Structure 1
Amino acid sequence: MAFDRPSLRGTDGLVFWRLLGTGRGASMSLGADLRRWALFAVWRHEAALDAFLATSPIAARWRGRAVEAWQVRLSPLASRGRWGGVEPFGSGTPERAGQDTAGGGPVAVLTRASIRPSRLVAFYRSVPRVDRLLLGQDGCLACVGVGEWPLARQATFSLWRDTGAVRDFAYRGRAHREVIERTRARRWYSEELFARFTPYASEGTWNGADPLA
């Protein structure tokens, strides 16, 4: 992944991007899966993404070497917080009235945090309970822990049946609710970002199937 950074910096229409390693757990776990990685990217317009996939040697190399690949296109519904000091989707991404509260449909969620060094032990002690809750949560279609740096800069990307399933996990599950409360009370994070999206197109497989099919 490291060798792809210079080429990505010069990609036309690529507004924001992060190359991410992945964990072995459903959320922000200690274990790493060295055979799997992800690119999270924000594009100025869809034509730039199409051009990247069609002509970039990076995209061609990934396709040629991957045993399995999956991609999803996302439209932001709401976002709060920062990633590396910036708001990836522009200042104050508004709620889109009705789109994620009525009518149902799949929802993607990204949670990302920079964990304070003094809070690392407390944070990772809380992860196994949240992982168990996630794996057994009704309405969770797929989930993976990702990160920029080992341990301190972590994120979770998940796909859900609908907004109601996201809400049930976030606020009705005791383990996750307790982690949220401790996070705020003990200031575990120096920076965080929470974003919701509508997935509108996907391609490939994730663990043998397209979770949005």
Structure 2
Amino acid sequence: MSQITTITLFRYKGFWNKVWAFGMMQFAHRRLGDVKGLQFYKLWGSGKENFDPRPDWSVYALLQIWNTEQDAELFFQTSNLISSYQKCTTENWTLYLKNIISRGEWSGSNPFQKSGTLDASNPRIVAITRATIKTRLLLTFWRYVPKSQGYLNNNPGLIYTKGFGEVPIKQMATFSVWKDKKYLDKFAYQNKPHVGAIQNTRSLKWYKEELFSRFQPYRSIGTWGGDNPLPQLNRD
């Protein structure tokens, strides 16, 4: 038995489907609270492209941490909640993830456990960062974000990225999928604007709470933008 993480992205079209999606940011909690094998979850809204803090009403996400892969499979195969999401979305994409490393805290603790069953032949990597921004530094932080993400969208190693959040403006997360660790490390530690953001994080102490984590994606189910972004990991 080994902990795994799943992240599911949902895309909506049409006014009433988007209203439904926004409502589920509140109402889904009741149905997620007693799911078998579910250790931890977060419902995310998203921001516009290029990490713009304004909301993107068409994209939402559900991050879940499971006791086992079997618990996750049972949920996705039998849950009425997931069926409801699928009926209202135009497409959805689920990644199964094994944790490589995780530092920091999320809601007071670090929920991710390092996996002991990583596949050395699989180079794909997912990065998730999450932070609660101090209220008095919100304006300073969001002024710097576009600069810090320079070179990201044109990065040849980037497969997908999106900004998400539990609470608009104040609690933010980044989700990115990369071809391999080399590309991710080059962006994180050699791209000057991003390095500057790291330095500002230390000097200005933007965050009340932060967490940095990396994962190995090993299953990719569904579509995003009309295709499966990681078709080599599609076992269905």
TM-score, normalising length from structure 2?
0.83
* Aligned partner of 2:162 among 132, 144, 152: 144
Distance in 1, Cα, partners of 2:122 & 2:59: 31
The answer to which structure, 1 or 2, has the higher relative contact order (CA under 8 A, 6+ apart) is 1
- What code does the residue aligned with 1:41 have? Q
Q: Which residue of 2 aligns with 1:57?
A: 80
Give 3-state SS (helix, strand or coil) of 1:175's partner: helix
1:88-138: CA deviations, max 9, x gaps? 114xx48x79x69x7561100000000001111111011112334211122
User: Can you give the 5+ residue segments of structure 2 that lack an aligned partner in the other structure?
Assistant: 1-23, 232-236
Q: Is structure 2 residue 57 aligned with structure 1 residue 34?
A: yes
Give 1:171 shift: 1.1
- What code does the residue aligned with 1:196 have? R
Distance in 2, Cα, partners of 1:157 & 1:23: 12
TM-score, normalising length from structure 1?
0.92
Give 3-state SS (helix, strand or coil) of 1:30's partner: strand
Q: Which residues in structure 2 correspond to 1:81-120 (within 5 Å)? A: 81-90=104-113, 93=114, 105-120=123-138
Distance in 1, Cα, partners of 2:49 & 2:82: 26
Cα RMSD (Å) of the superposition?
1.8
- What code does the residue aligned with 1:19 have? L
Distance in 1, Cα, partners of 2:78 & 2:186: 42
Q: Which residues in structure 2 correspond to 1:1-213 (within 5 Å)? A: 1=24, 2-27=26-51, 29-90=52-113, 93=114, 105-213=123-231
* Further displaced range: 127-136 or 75-84: 127-136
1:125-156: CA deviations, max 9, x gaps? 11112334211122011001000001010000
User: Can you give the 5+ residue segments of structure 1 that lack an aligned partner in the other structure?
Assistant: none
Distance in 2, Cα, partners of 1:31 & 1:18: 20
1:141-196: CA deviations, max 9, x gaps? 10010000010100000000100001000011111010110111110011100000
| 1:25–1:31 CA contact under 8 A, matched in 2 | no
* Further displaced range: 109-118 or 45-54: 45-54
Distance 1:57 1:103, change over 3 A: closer
Distance 1:5 1:42, change over 3 A: same
- What code does the residue aligned with 1:110 have? I
| 1:18–1:41 CA contact under 8 A, matched in 2 | yes
* Further displaced range: 50-59 or 127-136: 127-136
- What code does the residue aligned with 1:198 have? Q
Identity of aligned residues (%): 36
Distance in 2, Cα, partners of 1:68 & 1:104: 26
Distance 1:49 1:103, change over 3 A: closer
Distance in 1, Cα, partners of 2:78 & 2:110: 28
Aligned length, in residue pairs: 207
1:62-82: CA deviations, max 9, x gaps? 111110110100000010011
